[in-house]
Each structure stands twice: as C-alpha cells, then as structure tokens.
Amino acid sequence: MTGYSHNLKFSESGVRGIVGDSLTPMLVSALASSFGKYVGGGRVIVGRDTRPTGEMLEHAVIAGLLAVGCQPVILGIVPTPTVQLMVDKYHANGGLAITASHNTIEWNALKFISSSGMFLDRSESAELFDIYSQGDLAFNAESDYREVRYENEAFEYHCKKIFEHINVEAIKKCHFKVAVDCCNGVGALFSRNFLERLGCEVYTVFDRLEGVFERPPEPLEVNLGCLCETVKKHHCAVGFAHDPDGDRMALVDNTGRALGTQYTIVLAAEHVLSDSPGPVAVNIQTTRAVEDVAASYGCEVFYSKVGEINVVEKMLECGAEIGGEGNSAGVIWRKIHSGRDSYVAMALVLEMLAQGGESLSDIVGSLPFYSNISRKMPCLPYPAREVILELSRRYAYAKPLTFDGLRINFDNGWVLVRSSNTEPVLRLTAEANSEKEATIILEKFSNEIQTLLSEVKK
C-alpha cells in the first residue's frame, strides 16, 4: 500500500511526512495506537534518531501505545538497527523507529518493526493501515495502563552481537586510523566508542548531537567533501559516512576518494563470500559488480524490489547470508540480524583490511568497476505510473524487468526507472562501463521522461 496526502507517504517503509504540516503529534499518536492494536499489545521497543522533532514524536508514540495497553520500552537516541535487535532481545511484540533516515531535516517518520525484528512487509503494512483507517480503536481504562520502561544499554547489546562474529583481535593489532562523518546523527553518540573498542584512532566530523544536519543527510559522494579531506589530512586507512539513523554507510578510501554508495555492498559481499560462499540477495538498484564478485566464487545473485524488507525476504527465500541495497549503501549480514546496519558494515570492512593486508584503494582497484549515476525527478504516483507503463511498452523488445519500476538491461549497462518508496519522486539510475556511457543513458531517459510527463499533465 502506498499513498500521499500533501507531503505524507504511507508505504512498507513506514509513514513519512513533514512535521507540523502532514506529520502531526495527533497523527503519530493515532498510528502508534493502531500499531499497538496490530501487534496485540505487549512490549513495543521505541528508538529515535537525533532530529529535533524526535523527542516530541517519541512522547506522542508513548501516549498512543499506552492508550491501547502496550508497554513502551524507550531506548532514546539509537541506531535503527539497534531497535530491531532489541525487539529480538526483549521478545517484544514489535518496535517503532522514529526516523526519516536520509530525508532532509523537516521530515520525520515512523518505521514499523514486527516481532521478528524485521520491518513490516507490504501485506502487513496494509493490514496496519487498515486498522488505522477504520479509526474505531478501543482505548484502555486508566487502571489498565502499563508503566513505561527505559533501556540505556541497548547499543552495548548491539556491539556485543557484532563483536561475537568478527575477528576483533586482528583489527585491534592494526591500530587503524579512521575518519567518521556522523552527519550529526546517531553516529555522533556511538561511532567513536565503537571504533575505539576495535583499536582504531578515530577522527570525527559533523559529530554534534544537535540533529541539525550540516551536510545533506544522504551519504552520497557529492556530500562527503569534509570526510574526504579529513581522511587525507590524517592519513586514514578508511573513512566511514553515516546517515542520520545509522543503517547506511558509504566509504572513502585511503586516498581520500569517495567510493559511492554501491561499493559498500560490493566490498561486504567480497569479504563474506571469500570465507563462506553462498547466494547473495540485493535490490534491483544494485550494481552489476556484485554479480561479478559472486560469480568469482561460483555464487548466484538474486534480485528483489527496492526496500530493506524486500531484500530480507529474498535473502530468506534463497538462503543468502549476505545482501543489501547498493543504492543506499546498505549491508545486511544475517549472522547479526536481518536488517541494514552501518556498524556491521564498518566492522566487515575493517576485518577485510586487517586480514587482507592491502589498502582499501588497492582492494577496490582489484574489483569490477562500473559507473553508477542517479537522478531524482519530482513526480506524484499517478504520472509516475503512466510514465513507467509507457516506457514498458516502448522497450518491451528488450524484455525489461518490471517487478519494481522498469529496469532495462543493455550490453554495456542498464537503466532503472521507479517511483520512490520514501519521496514523491521518480528515481532514475543508470550504470555502464564508463561515466560517459552512463551519462548518455541517464540523459536519454531523463529527456524521454520529461516529454512523457508534459504529455500526462495535458
């Protein structure tokens, strides 16, 4: 289910909106009550990122959960993957992460987590939104309210889970210098300590907890200039770039070069498969380089729709241990939990560097390279559907993939056109053997889409 109301979007990625416009405390409280009803009461884990509106919405969530008999367990400011892990630890009925992830500061959102620690899928989200739409919730009497519980050691549990599955001592022996761009998000609270426990000398940028982002929150190459300079200044082995809620992580190599979002999953797949070959699952917006890496170990790659839960479901279906989303610099390693996790990604990269003895730039230089570029075009759902349908007709001869937007494969690359799960935009991604070829593909389809949009509006 997907819908809009002004700047409000309902989807399997949760409910996102501009706070004070479409996303209000009343709406958030009602959604929290609906979620409490959906999970059948009981404990619900609640965490948030550093956005200034987070505390207000946290109170609204608490009120909504208490009203229907739930016991909120409040983690405060924590990475979204920490919320997922704590659902499992507490055997909770569900979890709520208050974060708009990579969206700009005026946005916030609720992400809904099932008792499995995974986000709700499309059908589960539809059931939740149906409960909300009916609006006939029965609220508990005062005598039935449960106390609010607070948990201050949630991230410690998260760390221990990761450290159990990586070679901590090998990393410590290297005494890596690392730089971290915390985006004034949850990384400002947790990343230095996490990396210092792995024996690293840490240099941080954008490390204030004010929640006012000093760079655009998406960890794209164009936004990482300060991190690149920090890596070069301090001769770091690697630079890590977070998004505000700590589930995405992009990389800067030891020369100060931003690698782009796609190489996070490429490197993670290379490292995990070198020790434990098996299938890999990634979304349809992920680079072909993952296929090349997997093929070198005799492994198969399976594609899913964009969206963390879609990748996780594909991983479970095909038995993949490693997977992720190239477009969002997201790594999912099921040894830890079934969700994107920037702390897992950092640990895997550091272990790879420690065990391989090569610099990050040398490792990347030995891997397949494709130029991957993208663009966003403002577009509401109806014209987006019309554009994708028309393109599907025009390029039917190429036998495009159509299970999530439209992906057309060419001999020298591919293009993907799809409607975003999180913003009222069409996303275009083009990949080819060179930046020039990728740009030609992107411009061709951008122009074609602009023409189609002007026709739809007539």
| pLDDT tens by residue, 357-394 | 999 999 999 999 999 999 999 998 889 999 999 999 99
Quick check: 37 pLDDT over 60?
yes
For 141, counting Cβ atoms within 10 Å of its Cβ (0-12 exposed, 13-18 middle, 19+ buried), the class is exposed
The C-alpha atoms of residue 80 and residue 340 are separated, in whole angstroms, by 9
242-255 pLDDT, tens digit per residue, is 999 999 999 999 99
Q: What is the pLDDT of residues 223-244, one digit of tens each?
A: 999 999 999 999 999 999 999 9
pLDDT given for residue 458 in this prediction: 57
Pick the catalytic residue: 29, 101, 328, 371? 101
What is the 3-state secondary structure of 31-45?
Answer: HHHHHHHHHCCEEEE
Q: H-helix or E-strand containing 416?
A: strand 413-419
Q: Are strands 371-378 and 425-432 parallel, antiparallel or unpaired?
A: antiparallel
Domains of the chain: 3-152 (3.40.120.10), 157-365 (3.40.120.10), 371-457 (3.30.310.50)
Tens digits of residue pLDDT in 383-426: 999 999 999 999 999 999 999 999 999 988 999 999 887 778 89
Q: What is the dihedral of CA 174, 180, 182, 188, to 10 degrees?
A: 50
4 confidence band (pLDDT: 50, 70, 90)? very low
Question: Residues 363, 368, 369, 373: is their CA dihedral positive or negative?
Answer: negative
Looking at the predicted structure, is the pLDDT value of residue 173 above 50? yes
Q: What is the layout of strands, in order, in the sheet containing 249-252? A: 201-205, 177-181, 238-242, 249-252
pLDDT of residue 457: 65
pLDDT of 143 = 72
pTM: 0.93
Which residue from 455, 397, 456, 405 is spatially nearest to 429, judged by alpha carbons?
405
CA distance 303 to 306: 9
Segment among 8-17, 28-37, 173-182, 234-243 with least mean pLDDT = 8-17
Q: Please give the order of strands across the beta sheet that includes 14-18.
A: 3-5, 8-11, 14-18, 107-113, 94-98, 42-48, 70-77, 149-150
Q: Is 125 a catalytic residue?
A: no
Cβ 50 vs Cβ 77: under 8 Å: yes
Band (145; pLDDT cuts 50, 70, 90): confident
Asked if the model's pLDDT at residue 456 lies above 60, the reply is yes
How far is CA 257 from its chain centroid?
22
How far is residue 242's CA from residue 250's CA, in Å, rounded to a whole number? Answer: 7
| Residue 3: band (very low, low, confident or very high) from pLDDT cuts 50, 70, 90 | very low
CA terminus-to-terminus distance, the chain? 27
Mean pLDDT, range 121-128, rounded to an integer: 94
Q: In what order do the strands lie in the sheet with 425-432?
A: 371-378, 425-432, 413-419, 406-410
Tell whether the torsion through CA atoms of 59, 63, 64 and 70 is positive or negative: positive
- 8, pLDDT greater than 70: yes
Distance CA 25, CA 188 (A): 26
CB atoms inside a 10 Å sphere around CB 357: 8
